[in-house]
């Protein structure tokens, strides 16, 4: 939605850098400098990699860790942005799905608002990555729809919803140059956490799902992490069109959950889950029993926790399909319109099974996804491996020797040390 009210014109005029001027700055600058928050996650890491590899001559991205910049601390944000003076800020940060109320509130809500206030003061674009967790279940859900803000929402959905509402208020009342991008179930390589879709993939590969915990034909939207940077890049270069707007970013076709699970099962050539649909009422009973068992194990000092995705257990029995008509009507052109979770599945399986095998989380696919020669040498003949490395793989790197020859040696003496 484009926020128009009696203050909108005055707010835009009063802003430090009106939108048209900011568009000119981003388009004319030889190299734009941006700050990316949440660069260690799947979405943030994909964004950082895109700008580093696809636009090195026109965009420079700095992605500070939470140790350098805590968005939970307003003063941290003020000092950091005063020092680096970015042309835009992208917020892809999120707390863990099972975070307590304080952490979810401070990261997902206060952090997003603190960044918005800073960007508003500096007059720079602010791209906020939100979540379909703020939406109800249903099909053809538009950008205008939201869940009602109530106390019984889980911490993640509640904090994300509050962030959207406050950023909308800031767009209306203070002329914040912001675009909110809602993603659905995100898939892609290089997610170091086992969560979301990748939790499902892990559970199927580990044969931890005996049956189908969903209803037949229930559809959900999915977001390809590899495509998202192209949209963010486009949004930054077309602020007049996208400022003050919320956009859904998802694949054009929703996916039936049961069909996706059975496709993964067939691809991995495993037996489970069986094609038996478990009713939701029975699942709730099972979860209650597991929670009681976990509590009893705690008496013996064993920390047992259910995966955080269990808070969304009801959602796998209900459809959630995001409408992308607004995105399709915009000036953005999908760079890979035929790519979806099915076409991406071979790469996802190869990447994550290799990673999980290396971490000894799943062992049954080791022979298929790991290069065994070096591993076998390390496991069975470490002495021979060590000798071969000493023989030809310990000399100084030639490229660095050439560099050292061109550089004056650093003369350190005890007199130079304080």
- Closest by Cα among 220, 57, 72, 197 to 135: 220
**In this predicted structure, which of 153-157, 180-184, 390-394 has the lowest mean pLDDT?**
390-394
Residue with tokens 């013996």: 300
Are 140 and 323 in contact by the 8 Å Cβ rule? The answer is: yes
CATH 3.40.50.720 domain span(s) along the chain: 8-184+221-250
Q: Using CA atoms, how far apart are residues 130 and 113, in angstroms rounded to an integer?
A: 13
> Residue range 156-173: average pLDDT?
94
Concatenate the DSSP letters of all residues of 250-280 into one string.
--SS-EEHHHHHHHHHHHHT--PSPS-BPPH
Between residues 309 and 352, the one the model is more confident about: 352
Query: What is the structure's pLDDT at 220?
Result: 94
* 218-238 per-residue burial string, b: 16 or more CB within 10 A, e: under 16: bbbbbbbbbbbbbbbbbbbbb
Q: Averaged over 268-286, what is the pLDDT?
A: 81
pLDDT digits (tens, 9 = 90+) for 227-245: 999 999 999 999 999 999 9
- Categorize the per-residue pLDDT at 417 as very low, low, confident or very high, splitting at 50, 70 and 90: very low
Q: Would you call 77 exposed, middle or buried from its count of C-beta atoms within 10 A (0-12, 13-18, 19+)?
A: buried
Q: How far apart are the first and last CA of the chain?
A: 61
Percent of the chain with pLDDT over 70: 78
Instruction: Compute the average pLDDT of residues 389-394.
Output: 75
Q: Which residue has the higher pLDDT, 6 or 264?
A: 264
Which structure tokens are listed for 285? Answer: 């009973």
Q: Find the mean pLDDT for residues 247-276.
A: 91
May I ask the CATH class of domain 8-184+221-250? Answer: alpha beta
Out of 143-152, 195-204, 384-393, pick the least confident: 384-393
Measured distance CA(352)–CA(203) in Å, rounded: 12
pLDDT in tens, 115-151: 999 999 999 999 999 999 999 999 999 999 999 999 9
């Amino acid at each position: 939605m484009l926020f128009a009210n009696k203050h909108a014109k005055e707010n835009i005029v009063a802003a430090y850098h009106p939108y048209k001027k900011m568009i000119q700055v981003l388009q004319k600058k030889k190299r734009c400098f941006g700050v990316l928050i949440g660069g260690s996650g799947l979405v943030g890491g994909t964004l950082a990699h895109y700008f580093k590899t696809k636009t090195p001559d026109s965009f420079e991205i700095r992605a500070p860790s939470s140790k350098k910049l805590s968005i939970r601390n307003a003063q941290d944000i003020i000092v950091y942005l005063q020092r680096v003076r970015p042309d835009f800020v992208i917020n892809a940060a999120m707390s863990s799905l099972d975070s307590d109320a304080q952490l979810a509130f401070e990261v997902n809500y206060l952090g997003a608002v603190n960044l918005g206030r800073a960007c508003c003061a500096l007059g720079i674009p602010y791209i906020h990555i939100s979540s379909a967790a703020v939406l109800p279940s249903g099909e053809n859900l538009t950008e205008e729809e939201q869940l009602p803000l109530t106390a019984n929402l889980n911490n993640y959905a509640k904090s994300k919803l509050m962030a959207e509402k406050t950023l909308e208020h800031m767009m209306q009342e203070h002329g914040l140059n912001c675009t909110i991008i809602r993603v659905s179930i995100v898939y892609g390589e290089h997610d170091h956490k086992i969560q979301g879709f990748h939790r499902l993939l892990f559970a199927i590969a580990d044969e931890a799902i005996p049956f189908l915990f969903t209803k037949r034909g229930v559809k959900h939207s999915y977001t390809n992490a590899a495509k998202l940077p192209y949209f963010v890049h486009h949004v930054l270069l077309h602020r007049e069109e996208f400022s003050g707007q919320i956009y859904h970013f998802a694949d054009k076709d929703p996916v039936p959950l049961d069909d996706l699970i059975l496709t993964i099962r067939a691809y991995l050539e495993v037996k489970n889950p069986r094609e038996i649909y478990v009713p939701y009422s029975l699942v709730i009973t099972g979860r209650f029993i597991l929670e009681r068992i976990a509590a009893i194990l705690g008496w013996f000092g064993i920390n047992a926790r259910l995966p955080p995705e269990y808070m969304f257990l009801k959602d796998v029995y209900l459809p959630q399909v995001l409408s992308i008509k607004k995105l399709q009507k915009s000036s953005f052109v999908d760079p890979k319109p035929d790519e979806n979770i099915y076409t991406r599945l071979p790469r996802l399986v190869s990447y994550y099974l290799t990673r999980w095998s290396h971490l000894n989380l799943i062992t049954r696919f080791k022979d298929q996804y790991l290069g065994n020669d070096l591993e076998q040498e390390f496991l069975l003949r470490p002495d021979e491996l060590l000798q071969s490395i000493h023989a030809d793989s310990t000399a100084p790197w030639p490229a660095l020797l050439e560099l050292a020859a061109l550089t004056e040696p650093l003369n350190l003496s005890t007199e130079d040390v304080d």
